[in-house]
Amino acid sequence: MTAATIHDATPCELGEGPLWHPERGQLFWFDILGRRLHSRTDAGPEAHDFPEAVSAAGWIDRERLLIASESALFAWTLATGARETIAPLEADTPATRSNDGRADPWGGFWIGTMGKRAEAGAGAIWRWYRGELRRLYTVTIPNAICFRPDRSAAHFADTPTGRVMRVALDAHGWPAADPAVFLDLRAEGLNPDGAVIDAEGLLWLAEWGAGRVSAYDAQGRRRHVVETPGAAQTTCPAFGGPGLGTLFVTTARERLTPEALAAAPASGNTFAAPAPTRGLPEWRVLL
């Protein structure tokens, strides 16, 4: 078991979507409810505000990110803030917003949506690929979207179910079978949140409410644990840093009472820890 330390003490109401940009060598992450994209450079912290909730990103090139918001997928230029809509995302459903998402090995992008009040069955998991945005699954709180390094399968979770699913993919990255249970965490009372897969094929899963990220092997056995002291609501991990040897973890302070926040004062901070394994570069989004 490893204890992470604070990488950035900026308090996010709902930190999410950490992304290590492999060409820039820079970590980005979101405060969904704060409608803000965060980062750090050698000069210090940076923040960019948006007019609606933003939650996840992929990298297009050195200067642009694909960002998921509550109404669209859009290309966003870092230097100027210029925005180009790639596809509407439930733009006609103001009761939902985007949540967890990640680029896939084919240059596509998977993104989940959910009700702003986490209404049962109000969300979906979508895949954007070569100009098409296709609805894949109905969910309540989509999380844990990540991909096997050999391109054989994707993972996702509907957090209230307490389970992480695995679905086989075809040669173009579309689901080729019904999802099957990969992890069933109900007996432990754990809530699966964001996830990423490392170079060894371990699935690193943020466990909301438990103050940790756990790494699971292909048989669903827990192999490593990284704790986030003072922050129980872990949301998503990402590998970055030199050699992709650092595990970054976002957290949240959403819905914490003053008493709970006093007991967990680092809630909403972004953490980092030396990882026992190495990560993989995030896939590029191909427009």
Active site residues: 193
Please choose, from the candidates 112, 89, 117, the residue with its C-alpha nearest in 3D space to the C-alpha of residue 99. 112
Placement of tokens 């992480």 in the chain: 164
All residues at 6 or more sequence positions from 121 whose CB lies less than 8 Å from its CB, including other chains: 138, 139, 140
- The DSSP bridge pattern shows strands 36-41 and 44-49 to be antiparallel
Alpha carbon 171 to its chain centroid, in Å, reads 24
What's the chain's length in residues? 287
- Greatest CA span in the chain, whole angstroms? 51
Placement of tokens 């009472």 in the chain: 257
| 3-state secondary structure at position 262 | helix
| 3-state secondary structure at position 84 | strand
Q: What angle do CA 214, 31, 167 make, to 5 degrees?
A: 45
What are 30's strand-pairing partners?
16, 37
Q: What angle do CA 111, 150, 282 make, to 5 degrees?
A: 45
- The DSSP bridge pattern shows strands 222-227 and 2-3 to be parallel
Q: What angle do CA 237, 154, 69 make, to 5 degrees?
A: 60
What are 103's strand-pairing partners?
109
Q: Is the dihedral of CA 276, 280, 281, 283 positive or negative?
A: negative
